[in-house]
Structure 1
Amino acid sequence: MHKFENLLFWQKSIALAKHVYTICLEINSDEKYGLISQIKRCTISIPSNIAEGSGRNSNKEFNHFLAIALGSAFELQTQLILVKELNLLAEEKVNTLLNEVSEIQRMIYSFKNNLK
């Protein structure tokens, strides 16, 4: 069992979630139940799956939940690209989020490979 609170990529994914929630306040409320809702769900899924997997009985199970977290990170990346292409947020704000997501993706991927 791993203590998820000590994992840097979990800490960064919590910071990302807070950042995303703050930024989503700036997106037109017409998207509240569409894109914003989906962005928030997949953002929360990243640290949640890291935490859930860390409490599992084996590294194999943890690896599975890390794969889900990684998938959610790629889902978030796709949605943020769409936000940028639709000009729903300033490009520099979206790019900052995309950089954060990319860093988390790399960290999860590296940890997964070392966990095997």
Structure 2
Amino acid sequence: MEHKDLDVWKCSMDLVEEIYTMSSKFPDDERYGLTSQIRRSAISIPSNIAEGSGRKSDKELIQFISIALGSLTELETHYLIAIRLKYVDETKELMTLITKVKQLLLGFRNYLKRKL
């Protein structure tokens, strides 16, 4: 299956869009700080899913899914920092999307592990 057909990839692409929209409201002096960090961690999620899907084995794909999970946790932390710094207000929709991506990543990883 191609990565573009995976629900986890599609949902993580939606998350990237939301993060870009949300982070565009950060102060200009954060352009090379938190704005850059949160965007890079968001981009890393679908990128690692895609890269892992292009590898030869499910074992390699599991490794890239684990990296994507780490990037998601990093993104969530950046988001919570932005809330604490009052750059943005917490939204239920964004937290729900983060949770959904996490559930899809964990489910996909568990599915792949059972196949091994």
TM-score of the two chains, using structure 2 as the length reference: 0.93
In the TM superposition, residue 78 of structure 1 has moved relative to its aligned partner by 0.7
Residue 65 of structure 1 is matched in structure 2 by: 64
Give me the identity figure in percent: 42
Residue 87 of structure 1 is matched in structure 2 by: 86
Residue 17 of structure 1 is matched in structure 2 by: 16
Q: Please list the CA deviations of residues 34-78 of structure 1 after superposition, one character each: whole Å capped at 9, or x if unmatched.
A: 001000100000000000000100000000000000110010011
Which residue identity does 2:34 align to in structure 1? L
Match of 1:105 among 102, 105, 108: 102
The 4+ residue runs of structure 1 with deviation greater than 6 A are none
CA RMSD of aligned residues (A): 1.0
Alignment of 1:46-57 (within 5 A): 46-57=45-56
Does structure 2 conserve the Cα–Cα contact (< 8 Å) formed by 1:80 and 1:98?
no
Taking the aligned partners of 2:27 and 2:95, their CA distance within structure 1 comes to 20
- Give the number of equivalent residue pairs: 113
TM-score of the two chains, using structure 1 as the length reference: 0.93
Instruction: Give unpaired runs (5+ residues) of structure 2.
Output: none
